[in-house]
Chains A and B, each alone.
Chain A
Amino acid sequence: MSNNDNDIILASATSLSTLTINDISKDGFGYNPSVGPQSNNITQETSNYLLSKRTTSITSPNSIYDKSIINKKTNEISLSSLSFLFCEIVNWCHKSSKGIQDLETRLNGLGYTVGQKYIELIKLREGFKTNKREIKIIEMLQFIHGIFWKSIFGKTANELEQSQDVSNEYMIIDNSPLMSKFISIPKEYGELNCSAFIAGIIEGALDSSGFFANVTAHSMAIPGFPLRTVFLIKFDESLSIRESLRR
């Protein structure tokens, strides 16, 4: 797809305001705003142009783009497979990191790309059902906490809270986050919380939806839930301005 750069039909003038009635596109093809709808009339010249264009097919019979990702029944695999893989990912990141902080940053970065992709997928699937696009912080957080969480981790998160002290800060709380289930942290790893990966997923999903945020994971065990983790979501300042406009 990236090799059709030179096939793009260019406007004949660099700026619309400089167009005059006499400016027609070099190929005699394309909409000319100074002419109006007439410029799109099909003429011998424009038909010839289209017919003579050489094209390459960008879809093949086996292309992944031809498969529906909306109606597909999602497959399941063993949780163990994911945890084995995740363990190795943690080990790899640990080897190449300078410390616990750095390790968490790396895990966060890996999660980020997962979140970016997953939000797109889930929005295609669930967006059709809910027939809605979230434009406010609260709505978006409810979507992440509910539908998004349920779809990716198989259950909704436990709590959704707003910070009383700091504006723009929210918390999603999961009593037993999926990724930490099998991992007990040895002493030498200190305060490491592997849910940094999940924090990355949330951050990627929020950023891709235009809710720019920083997400960090913090262990906050309570009796009965030793793995309870708080995902602290701090939205960018600019969002509060937007929120006030959308009120």
Chain B
Amino acid sequence: MSKSSNNRYNGDDIWKNNTEKINSELFTLTYGSIVSQLCRDFNHNYHEVNNQLDKMGYNIGLRLIEEFLAKTGVGRCSTFKETVEVISKLGFKIFLNITPQIENWSSDNKSCSLILPDPNPLTEFVELPNLKDAEILKELWYSQILCGVLRGALQMVQLDVDVNFVKDTLRGDDKTEIRLKLNKFLKDEVPAGED
């Protein structure tokens, strides 16, 4: 990890030179197709849909973090604040080509908000069918998969973090906001039979 200190915050470079890219609309529509499939599979029980999206995101996070570390060579962050910076400027940049703003730090520096730009690659072309189904506006977090991804990825680097949406422009809110809350640092596992 000798290169870590040099390109620590150089998301633009990695994006430009070291990322195979595709048309984001294919991604948008593909995500849309699975969300609507889940809505049908769970018979429009949107809590279940949120849960399933979160699970899928979690599984993605477990893999995505390895690729992220391999591509960026970042070393361990010393503070949670630094971690969130890396998530926004490197993580979101490299994978979705957006850089969410970090706002609203709590006084203990353990929770903060990520504000996603609007529209983002998940929600472009999307409008929730609120006329047919009023519940959807109150219950579905359309981009919930992102929370799962963050939770899974952070857990792999020994950070136990709660991640959830608090606002979404698709629901008519003024912005799209993800709240992160650091619970604890996880310890390395020890071999069975040892202390």
Q: Is A in direct contact with B (CB under 8 Å) within the complex?
A: yes
Using CB atoms and an 8 Å cutoff, list the residues of chain A in contact with chain B: 1-3, 62-64, 69, 74-82, 84-89, 91-92, 96, 109-111, 113-114, 117-118, 121, 151-154, 178
Q: Pick the contact of A82: B30, B38, B67, B145 (CB < 8 A).
A: B30
Q: Contact between B131 and A82 (Cβ–Cβ < 8 Å)?
A: no
Q: Contact between B27 and A84 (Cβ–Cβ < 8 Å)?
A: no
Contact partners of A121 in chain B: CB under 8 A? 25
Q: Mark B93-116, 1 if CB is under 8 A from A, else 0.
A: 011110000000000000000000
Q: Contact between A75 and B33 (Cβ–Cβ < 8 Å)?
A: no
Complex Cα gap A64–B59 (Å): 31
Complex Cα gap A64–B129 (Å): 13
Complex Cα gap A74–B126 (Å): 16
Q: Mark B18-48, 1 if CB is under 8 A from A, else 0.
A: 0111111111011111101110010000000
Contact partners of B21 in chain A: CB under 8 A? 76-79, 154
Is B56 an interface residue, CB under 8 A from the partner?
A: yes
Q: A3-B131, A75-B121 are in contact. Are A81 and B34 (CB under 8 A)?
A: no
**CB of B29, distance to nearest CB on chain A (Å):** 4
- Our count of residue pairs bridging A and B at CB distance below 8 angstroms stands at 118
Is B125 an interface residue, CB under 8 A from the partner?
A: yes
- Interface of B, helix, strand, loop or mixed by DSSP: helix
Is B137 an interface residue, CB under 8 A from the partner?
A: no
Q: Return 16 A-B CB contacts under 8 Å, by A number.
A: A74-B24, A75-B97, A75-B124, A76-B22, A76-B97, A77-B96, A78-B97, A82-B27, A84-B64, A85-B27, A92-B38, A92-B52, A92-B56, A114-B33, A152-B26, A154-B22
Q: A2-B132, A82-B30, A84-B60 are in contact. Are A77 and B36 (CB under 8 A)?
A: no
Complex Cα gap A88–B21 (Å): 19
Q: Contact between A91 and B31 (Cβ–Cβ < 8 Å)?
A: no
Q: Contact between A2 and B27 (Cβ–Cβ < 8 Å)?
A: no
In the complex formed, the residue of A with least CB distance to B15 is: A78
Is B188 an interface residue, CB under 8 A from the partner?
A: no
In the complex formed, the residue of A with least CB distance to B37 is: A110
In the complex formed, the residue of B with least CB distance to A67 is: B119
Q: Contact between B23 and A81 (Cβ–Cβ < 8 Å)?
A: no
In the complex formed, the residue of B with least CB distance to A117 is: B29
Is B127 an interface residue, CB under 8 A from the partner?
A: yes
**CB of B10, distance to nearest CB on chain A (Å):** 16
Contact partners of A3 in chain B: CB under 8 A? 131
Q: Contact between A76 and B23 (Cβ–Cβ < 8 Å)?
A: yes
**CB of A109, distance to nearest CB on chain B (Å):** 8
Is B8 an interface residue, CB under 8 A from the partner?
A: no
Q: A64-B127, A91-B59, A121-B25 are in contact. Are A80 and B121 (CB under 8 A)?
A: no
Complex Cα gap A1–B36 (Å): 20
In the complex formed, the residue of A with least CB distance to B57 is: A88
11 further A-B pairs in the complex, CB-CB below 8 A; given A64-B119, A121-B25: A2-B132, A64-B125, A74-B23, A74-B25, A79-B21, A85-B60, A109-B37, A110-B30, A114-B32, A117-B125, A154-B22
Contact partners of A76 in chain B: CB under 8 A? 21-24, 97
Give the residues from 44 to 86 in chain B that come closer than 8 angstroms, CB to CB, to chain A. Answer: 52, 56, 59-60, 63-64, 67
